[in-house]
Amino acid sequence: MSGRLAGRVAAITGSSRGIGRAVATAFLAEGAKVAVNSRDQAVADQVARELGARAVGIGADVATEAGAAALVEGAVDAFGRLDVLVNNAGITVAAHTLELDLDTWQKVIDLNMTAVFLCAREAARHMLVAGGGAIINTASVQAFAPFPRRLAYGSSKAAVVMMTRIMAAEWAPLIRVNAVAPGYVRTSMTEKLQAEGRIDFDAISRRTPQRRLAEPDELAGAYTFLASAEASFVTGETIVVDGGWLAFGAFEGI
């Protein structure tokens, strides 16, 4: 690796597994120090130990004001600064809209939207005083294409794209705010949906020009770029990493 993030400190929400952990691993490889987050402090600590000496675990529910503050304060206390925030924590629900209950809707909105707002606001308050930084939100290909049975998830991720633009406009020039929009990625979350019969990996692979799902570490490069000085004039943008999915448009069978 090139050390593109040497000397920088990053906090990554929902980074005990999946895309978040892959991003944490990539940031560490590029020289960053990383605050790993899970709701469970023991899980966060275990992952931090596995990642090495430049990682620290912070247990916090980032969908709450107290949790968002704990994440930012924990990173600053551990490493003395915060240069990069990655809003990665999220949840997906596959359900017919008529069967979507309010509690489930609210859980998706709380983690996919409210947590992004709270953590970004808390990080920005620190970064604006400290002289700047970068915030990277996690959207989805479903922000740009309608997927049946994904009302809560797709709506929340479309909101993340707009939140990214508004934050970028408000906090420039000191803070760059961008997003990454993954397509289908093989994670424990999507594997659970596959096991429940709610998605079909084979159908997804046939529908994707790259003919497969992504692996989590294939997303990490987009986050690393946006966190680095190479993206110094990039703000308010969403990078889609979908294996060509949007090139084919939406597909109702998935």
Catalytic positions are: 153
C-alpha dist (Å) from residue 165 to 115, 160, 204: 17, 9, 29
210-249 burial, b at 16+ Cβ within 10 Å, e below that, comes to: eeebbebebbbebbbbbbbeebeeebbbbbbbbbebeeee
- Both tokens assigned to 47: 């992952």
- Both tokens assigned to 165: 């633009």
Whole-number Å distance between alpha carbons of 125 and 145: 33
Whole-number Å distance between alpha carbons of 195 and 45: 29
Ramachandran region, residue 249 (left: φ > 0; alpha: ψ -120 to 50; beta: rest): left
